[in-house]
Amino acid sequence: MTEPSAWVPEGVDITVPNASRVYDFALGGVHNFRVDREFYTQAEQAMPQVRVMAQANRAFLGRAVRTLTAAGIRQFLDLGSGIPTLGNVHEVAHEIDPGARVVYVDIDPVAVEQSNSLLRNNRQAAAILGDLRDPGAILGDPRLLDFLDFAEPVAVLMVAVLHFVPDRDDPAAIIREYSAALSPGSFLALSHGTWETTEEALRQQETVRKLYERTPTPFAVRDEAEVAALLGDSFELQPPGVVNIAHWYPEPEEDGEAAGPALLAALGRRR
């Protein structure tokens, strides 16, 4: 596996596990460090389905982008985008329309560095460093404004990231600030960790939650009603509502009735 080298931006602390690098490793990526892999191993030992969860989440991202692109959306703002791996937003969107524009945002310099390396010859996509909890800074970033026209519909993607925003940071208020910048007909697609369904699974989940307290991004699990409330009054919840991620428009080859991992998915349309 890749260890610290020229691709590591200056100032990155490689002694602390990072959620985006752990996710990268779970998906088979190479831009992660020993501390991230060790963290993932501990999480998988506590909760064996963590890789399935990562894969299910990535599959949802692809389905959401295809759904939105087919609906006419040509601009995407991917918040908490993580490290580039197979099935990036621009790759999926460009299969339908090569002119679709994408801006990736992440708080991890490694994710941004690798994204911009991947996109160096792509005029339709860019990555910027930013904390999604600071909408004003992100929405005012000159590079973002070079790519996205907020007078036209934009799809905001918050995929597997809001469960890293605790209640004290008021995620609903953060979403309201993004929604205020969006024109009617824009969308918000999100996935979010939720409660497990059995006592044993809940114990496993609690162990993983405690592991994440050692990282800069401890996570907050929310139920269906709490996830729906995040959309607020600005977004109209679209069918099939807030559902298990496996039940959100599964592909024909997938079993839409099968129980999925403890992740919820939802899509809201800007009123």
The string of pLDDT tens digits covering residues 117-133 is 989 999 999 999 999 99
What is the percent of the chain where pLDDT is above 70? 94
Residue 26 has pLDDT above 70, yes or no: yes
Integer CA distances (angstroms), 257 to 103, 244, 245, in order: 34, 10, 11
Q: Which two tokens stand for residue 81?
A: 């985008």
* Residues facing residue 105 across a β-bridge: 79, 128
Sorted by sequence, the CB contacts under 8 Å of residue 151 that are 6+ apart come out as: 183
The whole-number pLDDT of residue 174 equals 98
Q: How, if at all, do strands 155-159 and 75-79 pair?
A: parallel
CA angle 236, 241, 245 (to 5 degrees): 130
In a domain, residue 31? The reply is no
In a domain, residue 34? The reply is no
Which domain range does residue 172 map to?
56-197+221-270
The domain that holds 165 is classified in CATH as: 3.40.50.150
In a domain, residue 3? The reply is no
In a domain, residue 29? The reply is no
Residue 55 has pLDDT above 80, yes or no: yes
Asked if 220 and 165 count as a contact pair (C-beta separation under 8 A), the reply is: yes
Q: Please state the pTM of the whole predicted model.
A: 0.92
Residue 5 has pLDDT above 70, yes or no: no
In a domain, residue 242? The reply is yes
In a domain, residue 12? The reply is no
The pLDDT tens digits of the residues spanning 86-118 come to 789 999 999 999 999 999 999 999 899 989 998
Give the count of domains, the chain.
Answer: 1
Mean pLDDT of 223-237: 96
* Residues facing residue 101 across a β-bridge: 75
Residue 256 has pLDDT above 90, yes or no: no
Residue 11 has pLDDT above 90, yes or no: no
Sorted by sequence, the CB contacts under 8 Å of residue 129 that are 6+ apart come out as: 105, 106, 107, 109, 112
* Max intra-chain CA distance, the chain: 50
The whole-number pLDDT of residue 13 equals 81
In a domain, residue 184? The reply is yes
In a domain, residue 44? The reply is no
